[in-house]
Structure 1
C-alpha cells in the first residue's frame, strides 16, 4: 500500500492522541488530493476509540486555539501554521426529515471504518489513512475509481437523501475530470426531474458553483453536465441562449481559466461577467439574485454589463476597472488597452468646481456630455 505523506508537525498530535488509545485516521479530501498529487491545506481526521468530544478538546488545547463551532456535531477545528484541521468522531447519519438539517447524527467512535465511511458521498472521498499502522483504508474501491477516472456514489440510497450531492457530483466531475458513473448519473437526473433540488438554499448551491468556477480547469464541462441532467430549469436564463451562444460562453470561461492565475474574488466576479454576457440585463439581475445575496458580486457584474452596453459618466465611476479589464482580455478584445484608457473620465466633477461651476442638474449634464465625447474619441 502507498504511504501517505502529510505535514510532519501532525505527528506530535497523533502521538499524543495515541497515548490515550485514540486512533487517528486521515480521511476524505486530503487523501484524494494526495493521490492526485494536488496540494491541500485542509485535513480531516476521524478519531476512533474516544470517550467523548470533550476529551478530544482537552488534548488538542495544548497545540493551539480550538474552534468549537462544530462541537455539537462532534467536530473540533484546529489551526496550526497554515493548516486547517478538522477532528471528528465517526458517525452514522439517519434521514428523519426534509432539508439538509433533517438528519439524526449518531456518533460512535467504536464503529468499524467501513460502517463509519458508508455515509460519505463518493468512493473517492471514502479513502482513509491509518497514521498509526501506516496503511490506506479503502472499503469502497475509491482508489481504483480515481485511477479509472470514475465518479461513483458510496451508496446510491444515501446519496439521494441529500439533493446538494447532485451539485457536488457535477463540480467534482468537472474539477477532477471524471466521468460520472452511469447509475449515479441516472439517479441525478431522477432527483432533478422530481424537483428534489428546488428546496436547496441559494447559499449551498452558490458554494458548489463557486468551487466549479474557481477550481475547475475547464468549467465548461460542469455547465454541460448541468444542462444534460436538466438543471437549466433552475437557471432558466440559459434556455434563452442559442446553442452557439451557450458554447461561446462556456468556451470563454475555459479560455479565461487557462489565461488567469487568480482564484480570488476578482476572478470569480469576472467569470460571472463572462457567464452572463449573453443574457438580457433583466435576466442577469434575476439570475444573480437567485444564486447569491452577495451585493458586491451582484453590483459589480451588473455595472460592467450596463457600462459595456450603454457607457456613461456615472457608471464609469462605479465599475471595477480591474474586473472590466480582465473581462475584455477574456473576450480577446484587440484594442482593450485603448478602450481602458478612455474608460476613466478625463473631466471630473472636481474639474468643473475648479472652474467655478456649482453642482446642479447642469453640472451632471456637462459631465455626461464631455464623457460621451471622450469615449467616442472626440475629446482630447
Structure 2
C-alpha cells in the first residue's frame, strides 16, 4: 500500500526531496507513527515524522526551500518548516530506556525495529519504508486499527511513562477506539503512577486533550478510569454565560468538576497553562460558591461583588445554578453601566472633597442599576448620598 496517495502534492514533493537525499547518502528513511496511522484510517494527516538511520543534520544540510529549522542535539531531531507550507520532523531511529519510572528516557541511536518498539501503542508503531514502498508492522497495529483498539506495545508501558495514559485517552476519543488496556490503566491509576511525573507533564497532556473535538468524553474517562475523582454531572454543563469553544473554558470546567481539590492543584501549580487562568483558579479556591451572592437581589450589590472578577471567575460561578442568572444579569445588563454625569458635574454643586464626590457618584450609580433610571443630578440626591456615604456602595 502506498500511503503517500492520501497526502497533498506539497507534502509528497517534500517527502520525495528527503527520500532522494537519503538514497544518495545511503540513509534508510521511514515515515512513522501518526502519519501512517491516519493514512490507513483515511483521516487527515496532521503531523509527518520521518525516522532515519543517521544524524538528520546530514539530510537538512542538503535540503532546499527550507524556511526555518530547529535541531535538538540530545535527541538528534530536526524540525523543518519548508517554504511550501509543509512541516516535517526528521528523527534519528533510536532505542529508549528509563532509569526510573516516570523520568524522561535515555536515548541510544539504533534501527527502525528498536524505534518502533519504543513507541506507545501498536497503532503508532507503524512505519512506511520510503525506499522499498512497504509497510512495516511488527506489533499488529494494522489489525488493531481494523478492530478499533488502543493497545500498548510492551509490559510496564504505563509505569515507565504515565503520560501514555492520557495519550491512550486522546486516541480513544478521537477515533472512537476501545481501550484494550482499560483494566491495567485503572490498576496503575490506583497505584498512584501519576505521582512519579511533574504537574507540568500532566497539565500539558490535559491541555492537549482539551483541544480535541470530543474533549468531554476525555473528562468522563478520567472518572471511569479512576484517574481523577470528578462530578460527571458538571462536565460540559451548559448555561447562557459559557462558550466552550475556548480551551481555557474547558480546563476551567474540569477544575470546577474536581471533587478532590488536591487534584485541582495540578491545574494551578504548573508552568504550562495560561497565567490569567491559573490566577483566577487561585482566587476561586477561596470563594464559597454556594453562599456567594446567595441572598443578594440588589443589582448594585451584584455589580459591586463582581466588578473586579475575571471572565474565568465569572464563568466558574455561572455553573452554580443559584448564581447563573445573577452572573448573566451582570455581564449583559450591569457590567457596562455608564453614568451621564461625572465628577466635574458634582463639583459644580460645590462639593470639593474627593471622597464625597466618589460617594455621590456611587449613590447615583446604585440608583441607576436598581431602577434603570438616571435622572439629572440635584441637591436632594447630593444630600441623600452624603447621608449614606459611610455605607458601602
CA RMSD of aligned residues (A): 4.1
Alignment map for 1:59-208 (pairs within 5 Å): 59-60=62-63, 63-68=66-71, 70-80=72-82, 81-101=84-104, 103-108=105-110, 111=111, 113-181=112-180, 184-208=181-205
Question: Is 1:249 aligned with 2:240?
Answer: no
Q: CA separation in 1, counterparts of 2:130 and 2:176?
A: 29
Superimposed CA distance per residue, residues 126-170 of structure 1 (whole angstroms, 9 cap, x where no aligned partner)? 112222322222222212212222100111334431122122222
Q: What count of residue pairs does the alignment treat as equivalent?
A: 348
Question: Is 1:8 aligned with 2:7?
Answer: no
Larger radius of gyration: 2
Residue pair 1:370, 1:379 contacting (<8 A) in 2 also: no
Alignment map for 1:2-81 (pairs within 5 Å): 2-4=2-4, 5-6=6-7, 7-10=11-14, 11-48=16-53, 50=54, 52-60=55-63, 63-68=66-71, 70-80=72-82, 81=84
Which residue of the partner structure matches residue 386 of structure 2? none
Q: CA separation in 1, counterparts of 2:195 and 2:361?
A: 47
Q: Which moved more, 1:146-155 or 1:356-365?
A: 356-365
Q: CA separation in 1, counterparts of 2:344 and 2:136?
A: 73
Counterparts in 2 of 1:221 and 1:343: CA distance versus 1, 3 Å = same
Q: CA separation in 2, counterparts of 1:149 and 1:375?
A: 58
Q: CA separation in 2, counterparts of 1:107 and 1:270?
A: 42
Superimposed CA distance per residue, residues 75-97 of structure 1 (whole angstroms, 9 cap, x where no aligned partner)? 11111243331111111112223
Which residue of the partner structure matches residue 296 of structure 1? 276
Residue pair 1:313, 1:368 contacting (<8 A) in 2 also: no
Q: CA separation in 1, counterparts of 2:316 and 2:143?
A: 40
The alignment's TM-score, normalised by the length of structure 1, stands at: 0.75
Q: CA separation in 2, counterparts of 1:104 and 1:186?
A: 29
Q: CA deviation at 1:278?
A: 5.8
Q: CA deviation at 1:275?
A: 3.1
Q: Secondary structure at the match of 1:132?
A: coil
Gaps of 5+ in 1: 239-245
Gaps of 5+ in 2: 294-301, 375-393
The alignment's TM-score, normalised by the length of structure 2, stands at: 0.72
Q: Which moved more, 1:191-200 or 1:362-371?
A: 362-371
